[in-house]
């Protein structure tokens, strides 16, 4: 699961050096448009639905991991 999340981040943020410390704050390409496409890829990959309220709360790798584990 961890690998898949990182892959989605790398793919959407156009960067190969992304690790588990990646967040909205420290990644320049993580803007609101890319945020949406990350959400969509997570929904597809893990077959879940991310609610709009949750979309606003996943701002780093760890948030994402926590959210998906909770689903």
Beta carbons of 50 and 70 less than 8 angstroms apart: no
For the CB of residue 54, give the shortest distance to another protein in the complex, in Å: 11
Which of 6, 5, 24 minimizes the C-alpha distance to 15? 6
The 31-60 contact track toward another protein, x by CB under 8 A, reads -xx--xx--x---x----x-xx--x-----
Q: How far apart are CA 46 and CA 71, in angstroms?
A: 9
Binding piece for another protein, criterion CB under 8 A, among 3-11, 17-25, 28-36, 61-69: 28-36
For the CB of residue 37, give the shortest distance to another protein in the complex, in Å: 6
């Amino acid at each position: 699961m961890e690998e898949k999340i990182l892959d989605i981040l790398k793919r959407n943020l156009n960067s190969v050096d992304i690790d588990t410390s990646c967040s909205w704050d420290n990644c320049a390409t993580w803007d609101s448009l890319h945020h949406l496409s990350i959400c969509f890829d997570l929904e597809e990959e893990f077959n879940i639905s991310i609610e709009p309220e949750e979309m606003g709360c996943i701002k780093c790798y760890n948030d994402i991991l926590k959210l998906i584990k909770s689903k």
